[in-house]
Chain A
């Protein structure tokens, strides 16, 4: 078991090296640099530009820059500046004087971490995932227990739509219905301190996962329903409630755990669009803004954070899966 986890953790290293390398070199292939002369910012003269390049090590060969970005490098005064492995993502190319990690993780003055961009996204993600699980699982269980009834068919239909229709299309429809026609919510809320504006983005973000969870729970419940141990439990004269909760749901949920990894990836990628559409002050919107502003270091840093998140999520799901189901053998 420990060997398996260690092996998987070690395998994470080459994967992350490749991911950061691809991202780093592609971003540096893009035209433009941090001190570019553009209309929107103060002009930087040639000499200052050279000094800045020297200061940030941008005059060094590209491979050296990559090593410096990931591990770190000695600056001119001989002081070691730590890179990605210490959580330093470098200066933003557009928001002058601020580092990428500050923009993403630093809350506004006097507020706790939860009010930083990453904190907002994290809260939205947790809310979306909770909605997905706490609505999706019961829906799947009920649909399976009432197989081939109206409830079953309608939940299957909604689940099929939820799985195939992308979340941003769902968001557009819901915004038009609830904001433009019914005027129940503002299109872009002024404050995110109350619960109400969170409901719609979280629902939209979690809907795909909700649908998938419901469908998977249903099919896995249907399989469990026919198992011998369920018949045994009935024969023992256990109450139906006990059979459903103790014998069926507990076993039926094992495969559902596997989708948590892809679900997190879906939450991450869904969050760009959903946060932008709802004007949500999170990391996803910051990412989209940095794309339109061509803030390369910001794109680079955020991509690496997202890739890391997804890789760790997949790994932990694999480990949890092994832990909760003793029947699974670790072959590799």
Chain B
């Protein structure tokens, strides 16, 4: 992303001159170099990449069909357990054991990554687009629109997120939208409905301070319109804090999905093997909870996956914050 050399209608001579002096690095390139020097965030990126690959290529990676019922093989412990409390011993073909119906847990966890990664990325994208647009418009135009936005954020902050998600899922789960995409659509919608407010607030704050800067004044003096000023001058300069906020937004979405799934309010259990979303880590936690006495390892794999992905995003987010805002370094 070229940010430093944004629109300058001053002619090509200056740009040519720059080419002779020294290779200039844009703000983003600079941030990128700082980011990849941070070991923790590189580790985070690798983990996120691996889980994304796992989610996309789940049918190729999973050893079994996640819906295949193996009768008589229910509640098998993981392969390394010689003898469980119920007397069953692990089998090599089911590395993480099986659930009540004898379905392979490893395959189910791999398929579960699809929902969790989607829940991380899709609402976060919607939230970023909506929140940034509204925050930018409110901050730039000020006045009534701005006031309205601030009052909305006040209410949104007073309402604990999770309570709102629970209410929405309970109320609308059995309606038409609640059935779209096995209930995922409603989940995305509920997540996006609340969380755009935070992003809008950040963007608004950035816009408020940026619109008073000299470069905005300069752009306006050479005749740039409002839309151009917002998209080409203010937005690129406000993007740093937004990227950091997004990196922390994604793990929150994943955790929320896991909690809602655990409460039985997440994805509907799929029985159709051709459906893209078979199960989620939250649903797996719910299944594991019902057997916590006899089969505690059913909880282990989905819980570990949630923890790993969330930690990865936190590492990445911390790294991004340090990279994009050098003043914040070492003061976390």
Taking beta carbons and an 8 Å cutoff, which residues of A are in contact with B? 11, 15-16, 18-19, 22-23, 26-27, 29-31, 160-161, 163-166, 168-169, 172-173, 175-176, 179-180, 187-188, 215, 219, 222, 265, 268-269, 272-273, 276-277, 288, 291-292, 294, 296, 299, 303, 306-307, 310-311, 314
Contact = CB atoms under 8 A, between A and B. Distances in A.
A268 B160 contact: yes
For B264, B296, B300, B314, which residue has the most chain A Cβ atoms within 10 angstroms?
Answer: B296
Contacts of A160: 314, 318
A26 B169 CA distance: 10
B167 A22 contact: yes
Interface of B: 154-155, 157-164, 166-168, 170-172, 174-175, 251, 255, 258-259, 262-265, 285, 288-289, 292-293, 296-297, 299-300, 303, 306-307, 310-311, 313-314, 318, 331-332
Given A176-B300, A310-B158, A187 B292 contact: yes
18 contacts: A15-B155, A16-B158, A22-B159, A22-B164, A23-B167, A26-B171, A29-B175, A30-B172, A164-B251, A166-B307, A222-B331, A269-B161, A277-B292, A291-B263, A292-B264, A299-B166, A306-B163, A307-B158
Contact of B311 (A165, A291, A307): A165
Given A172-B303, A306-B163, A30 B263 contact: no
Given A30-B171, A160-B314, A311-B158, A272 B258 contact: no
Given A166-B310, A215-B332, A273-B262, A15 B174 contact: no
A291 B158 contact: no
Nearest to A299: B170
- Please provide the 5 A-B residue pairs with the shortest distance between their CB atoms, ordered closest to farther: A164-B314, A26-B171, A180-B296, A30-B171, A172-B303
A26 B178 CA distance: 13
Given A30-B170, A176-B296, A215-B332, A165 B310 contact: yes
B251 A175 contact: no
A299 B265 CA distance: 14
A160 B44 CA distance: 13
A314 B156 CA distance: 13
B258 A166 contact: yes
B253 to A, nearest CB: 12
A210 to B, nearest CB: 16
A307 B160 CA distance: 6
A240 B68 CA distance: 67
Contacts of A187: 292-293
